[in-house]
Structure 1
C-alpha cells in the first residue's frame, strides 16, 4: 500500500494480492459468460448480474412505492432513526434497479449499522436527462422531510455522478455528513486521459463505445458538459468529506482522479483509493475479492467517522 498526501487530499494505492489476481480472472470470466449466455433483455441480464452480490444477514427489506418516489429500504437491526444512507445505483443511466442493488447497499448498511435507501430512478431512453438527476435531488429532499438529520450519499458509476451532480444544489448539501462513490462516471464528454488512451485495459466496457452510446442515449441532445450530467464541470466550493474508490483497470480512472484533485483544490477533504488490477465497481464482488471487502470496510469506516 502506497499513500501520498496533498493539500486536503490523501491518495492510497492498494496492490492486488496473488489470491485476488486469480479471483479477478474468475470473476471476469463468469461475468463474460453471463452476458454471452443471457436470455431476456439487457436490463434483465444486468440486474441478474448485480443480484449476485448477496444481501447481508441481519437486514430487513422494505419496498417504497409512492407516486413520486420508488426504491427499497435496507435496514440493519437497531438502525438509528436520525441517520440514513442514500444509495444511487449505476448502469450508465439505461440499466439497473433498486431491487437488484439491495445486496450491495446491504453490505454498506450492515457495516455502518445505518439504514440505506436505494433509489429507483427513471431510466433512458424512456426518461432522458435530466430525469435521473431530478429523481436524485427529490430523493435527498424526501429523506430530509422524513426527519433524517444526517445523510450519507453513495453511488456507483452513473449513480456516483448523480450523487455529485445533486451536491451542486446548495440545499441538497445541507445535512450531508459524507459522500462515498465507487468508480464515478462524471464526464459524459468523455475527455479523460484513461478513456482516450488505447492502452487502457478495461474488461467491463468492451468496446469503449458502450459508454459513448449510453451518454448519447441519456443526454438526448443535451450538452454533455452540463454539470447535472457531468459534475466534473460544476464542482461546488463547499463539499462534505468525500471518498472515491476506483480500480486501475478502468476507462473511468481519470474521472475519479480529476474530480478528487479539483474538489481538494476547492477546499474539500478528499480520500482517493485506487485498487490495482481491479475492474469497474469491483465492490460488487464482495464474496470473491478480498479487495472488495476491504474497500467496503473502508467506505463504512469513512462514513462512521464523519457522522456529526
Structure 2
C-alpha cells in the first residue's frame, strides 16, 4: 500500500495479493457464466447477480412503498435513530433495484452501524433524465422530514454518480449530507475519460458499447455534460462534505474517479481516493470470496463513521 497527499486529496494505492487475484478471477468467471446461462430478461439477470451478495448478519429488512419513495430499509441492531445512509444502486441507469442490492447495502449498513435506505429510483429508457436525479432529491427530503438529522450518501457506478450529483443542489445544509462514498462512480456520461478511450484498458465487466447505449437511453437529447447527469462537469467549489471514492485499475471508469477526485480537491473539497490494483468494476460486491472487497467496505464504514457531527 502506498499513500500520497496533495491539496485536500489523499490517494491510497492498494496492491493486489495473490489471494485477491485468484478470487477476483473466479468472481468474474462466475458472473460471466451467470449472464450466459440466465433464462430471463437483462433486468432480471442483473437483479439475480446483485442479489448474490449475502445479507450481513444482524441486518433487518423492511420494504417501503409510499407516495414519496420506494425501496428497502436495512436496519442493523442498535443503530441510532437520527442518522441514515441513503444507498443508490448501480446498473447504468437502466438496470438494478433496491431488492437486488439489499445484500450489498447491508454489508455497508452493518459495518457502519447505521440504518440504510436503498432507493428504488425510476429507470431509463422508460424514465429518462432527470427522473433518477429527482428521485434522489425526493428521498433526501423524505428522510429529513422523517427526523433524520444526518445522511451519508453511498452508491456504486451510476448510483455513485447520482450520489455525487446530489451535491450540486441548492439546499445541501437542509438535507444534512455528512459524507459521500462512491464505488467506481460513473461521473462523465460524455465518456471522455482516458481509461474509457484507451485500448489498453481491459475491463472484464463493462464494455464501451454498453455504457454508450446506457448513456443515450438515460440522456436522450440532453447535454451529457449537464452536472445533474455527469457530476464531473458540475462540481461545486469548496463547500462539499468529505468524499471517499474507490476504484479498481482494471476499469473503463478508472479515470472517472481519478478526474473527479482531482477536480473536487482543486476546488477546495476534501477527497480520499482509494485505488485497488488489478481489481474490477464494483469488486466490493464480492464479499464472500474477495478479501479486498471486505477491506474496502471496512474502509468505507470507517470513513462514514468519522464524518458524523460529534454532537448530532
With the shorter chain as reference, the TM-score category is: over 0.9
1:201 shift after superposition: 1.0
Contact between 1:137 and 1:172, CA under 8 Å: does it hold in 2?
no
Q: TM-score, normalised by structure 1?
A: 0.98
Give the conservation status (yes or no) of the 8 Å contact 1:98–1:120: yes
1:300 counterpart residue number: 301
Correspondence for 1:95: 95
User: How far apart are the structure 1 equivalents of 2:46 and 2:148?
Assistant: 31
Is the Cα–Cα contact under 8 Å of residues 181 and 245 in structure 1 kept in the other structure? yes
The 1:245/1:135 distance shift into structure 2, 3 A limit, reads same
2:114 alignment counterpart: 114
Deviation track 1:175-216 (CA, whole Å, cap 9, x = no partner) reads 11111000000000000000000111100113x111000000
CA contact (8 A) 1:167 1:173 kept: no
Please state if 1:176 is matched with 2:180.
no
SS of alignment partner, residue 229 of structure 1: coil
Task: List aligned pairs for 1:267-278, cutoff 5 A.
Answer: 267-278=268-279
Equivalence for 1:264: 265
Alignment RMSD, CA only? Answer: 0.8
Residue-by-residue CA offset, 1:26-50 (whole Å, 9 max, x unaligned): 1111011001111110000000000
The 1-side partners of 2:53 and 2:289 are apart by 10
Kept in 1: contact 2:68–2:139 (CA 8 A): no
Provide, for residues 271-299 of structure 1, a one-character-per-residue CA deviation record: whole Å limited to 9, x for no partner.
00000111000000011110000000000
Match of 2:225 in 1: 225
Q: Does residue 160 of the first structure (1) align with residue 160 of the second (2)?
A: yes
> Does the residue aligned with 1:171 lie in a helix, a strand or coil?
coil
Matched with 2:65 is 65
In 2, the alpha carbon distance for the partners of 1:158 and 1:45 equals 18
How many pairs align? 307
What's the offset of the Cα at 1:234?
0.4
- The alpha carbon displacement at 1:172 in A equals 3.5
Alignment of 1:1-308 (within 5 A): 1-172=1-172, 174=174, 175-206=176-207, 208-237=208-237, 238-308=239-309
List alignment gaps of at least 5 residues for structure 1. none
Report the Cα distance in structure 2 between the residues aligned to 1:17 and 1:81, rounded to whole angstroms.
39
For residues 84-106 of structure 1, what are the alpha-carbon distances to aligned partners after superposition, in whole Å with 9 as ceiling and x for unaligned?
Answer: 00000000000000011010110
How many angstroms does 1:173 deviate by? Answer: 5.0
> Is the 1:140–1:172 contact (alpha carbons within 8 Å) kept by the matching residues of 2?
no
Runs of 4+ in 1 over 2 A off after TM superposition: none
What SS does structure 2 have at the residue aligned with 1:72?
strand
> What secondary structure is seen at the aligned counterpart in 2 of 1:257?
helix
Question: Following the alignment from structure 1 to structure 2, what is the Cα–Cα distance between the partners of residues 71 and 124?
Answer: 17
Following superposition, the deviation at residue 171 of structure 1 comes to 1.1
Name the TM-score, length of structure 2 as normaliser. Answer: 0.97
Pairwise CA distance, 1:67: 2.3
